[in-house]
Every structure is written in structure tokens, then in C-alpha cells.
Amino acid sequence: SKQEQVLKKVKKSVEDGNFYEAQQLYKTLYFRYFSQQKYTEAREILTDGAMTMLKHQQITCGTELAQILVKLFSETHTPPSPQNIASLVDISKLYPRPDNEKISFLKAALQWSSAESEQKRGSALIYNELAYSYAASQQYMMAQKYFLKGDDVKSFSKMIKEWSKALYPGESDLLVSRSILQYLCLTNLRDANYLLDDYLNSSPPPSRTPLINFIRFLLLTLERDAHPLFEILRQRYSTAIKRDSSFSSFLDIIAEKFYKVKAKG
């Protein structure tokens, strides 16, 4: 068939190192399938093209095909099924290093997965990939934002420990507490507890600062319907809470999410 002939040509171009030509042939095949509304074949050819290019370190060519794939998903309102997410994650993992092209591809993928999902929430696996990319280039603040919405708390905790090394001694409790409170704002008690346990089990063991004690009691309190106790904790540990100007507003959000209590003022 015509398609098979083009695929043979593609293979030869790749073997000869003519990557631009190979990319153009991948696009030709894609447009042919697309115009015939053969979306499965169109998806497969783009996935294969993007992965082939990235395996040969052709980042720009690979990214362009990967971006067309995401556009295809968006335009055809393809649901973010595990299979579709997996093919995007596979592409992401082939980037030789985290760079801006990888991040722009993942952000487009995130937007599609959010728009087409019933919960209007992006895929946790794509949030993970973005978090790994930012963490690898030591953009910890950005990585944190994506880790919180992903589902890989172990890698997040590991990154927090790395990040701590770049801070003043005595600030690591602030860092872990901030992440725990942000998890709680998302009502994610399980991962909040994991972060605290992993932090307390670090070696050498971290000092039990008033802030860490507050977080420990807070997590226990949120396990049950104990709003009065929550308020007592806030008062008792107000000095520790004041160490970070964002903590008070996080706690207002937590009170609303767990106890349906609106903040005063």
C-alpha cells in the first residue's frame, strides 16, 4: 500500500540521519489518516514519530509531532484514557533532559487531560512528569506546585529533602510544613501524613520544633470531627504559625474544607 511505502521511506530517512525529511513524511502520513478520519492510525503514527525523533535526540522535531498528537486529542475530544495518558508519558520519558520544549508539550497535554476529563482535573501522571522536569532542573517551587496535584508523594518527599539542603539550617521544618498544609488544602490527608512521617524518619532525626509539633497534632485532629480542638491548636501554636505569612490563610481553607467553617472577615 501507499502507506507502507511511505513508512519504508521514513525508516530509511531515520537510518540515514535525515530527520527533517523523516518528520515531514510522518506529517504527510498523519494528514492522510486525519483527512480519512482514521484517528487511531493518526494517533499511532504521531506517537511513533515523536518517540523515534526523541530517541535520536531530535528534540524540536519530536516535540512538534508530540504537540500535533495533543492537538489531535483535543480536536477529536479524545478522553484521557489510561492508554492515551500512557502514550504521552512514554513520550515525556524519552526526552534526554528536562527543557522548555518538554515542558510546553506537557502543559498542552495537561490542558487537554483536564478539559476532557469528567472531574475537569488534569491527569495525575502528567502532573508527575511536570514535577520531575522542574525538580531535575532545581526549579523546586514550580515542581512543588505540580507534585501537589500528582500522585507520587515519595518523589515529592525526596525532592523536599534536596531542597532543604539549599536553605538556611533550621528552615527545613518550614518547607515540609508548607507542603503538608497545601496537601490539606486539597483534603489529601494520606499524602500529608506520608510527608510528615518521612520527614520525622530522616537521618539525622530533625529537631521537633513547635511548628512540627503543631503539624503533628493538626493531622491527628483532622482525622476526627474536632473543630474546637482545631481552634485551640491554632491559638496555642500561633507563634509557630506566624513564621510563614501564608500559613494562616492555608489554615482558613483547611477549616472550611474539613469543618465547613468560613473564615472571619
Per-residue pLDDT reduced to its tens digit, 47-60 = 999 999 999 999 99
Q: Amino acid identity, residue 244?
A: D
Q: Is the pLDDT of residue 257 over 90?
A: yes
148/138 Cα distance (integer angstroms): 16
Q: Is the pLDDT of residue 119 over 80?
A: no
Q: Which residue has the higher pLDDT, 150 or 264?
A: 150
Q: Is the pLDDT of residue 176 over 80?
A: yes
> Do 222 and 214 contact (CB within 8 A), yes or no?
no
Number of neighbouring beta carbons within 10 Å of residue 187: 13
**So what's the pLDDT on residue 244?**
97
- Select from 134, 130, 214, 223 the least CA-distant residue to 174: 214
Q: Is the pLDDT of residue 265 over 80?
A: no
Across residues 198-219, what is the average pLDDT? 94
Number of neighbouring beta carbons within 10 Å of residue 119: 6
Reported as a pLDDT band with limits 50, 70 and 90, residue 1 is: confident
146/164 Cα distance (integer angstroms): 18
Cis peptide leading into residue 210 (ω within 30°): no
**So what's the pLDDT on residue 118?**
82
Q: Can you give the pTM of this predicted structure? A: 0.93
Across residues 29-50, what is the average pLDDT? 95
Number of neighbouring beta carbons within 10 Å of residue 242: 10
The residue behind cell 503543631 is: 214
Q: Is the pLDDT of residue 121 over 90?
A: no
Across residues 90-94, what is the average pLDDT? 97
Quote the radius of gyration of the chain (alpha carbons, Å): 23
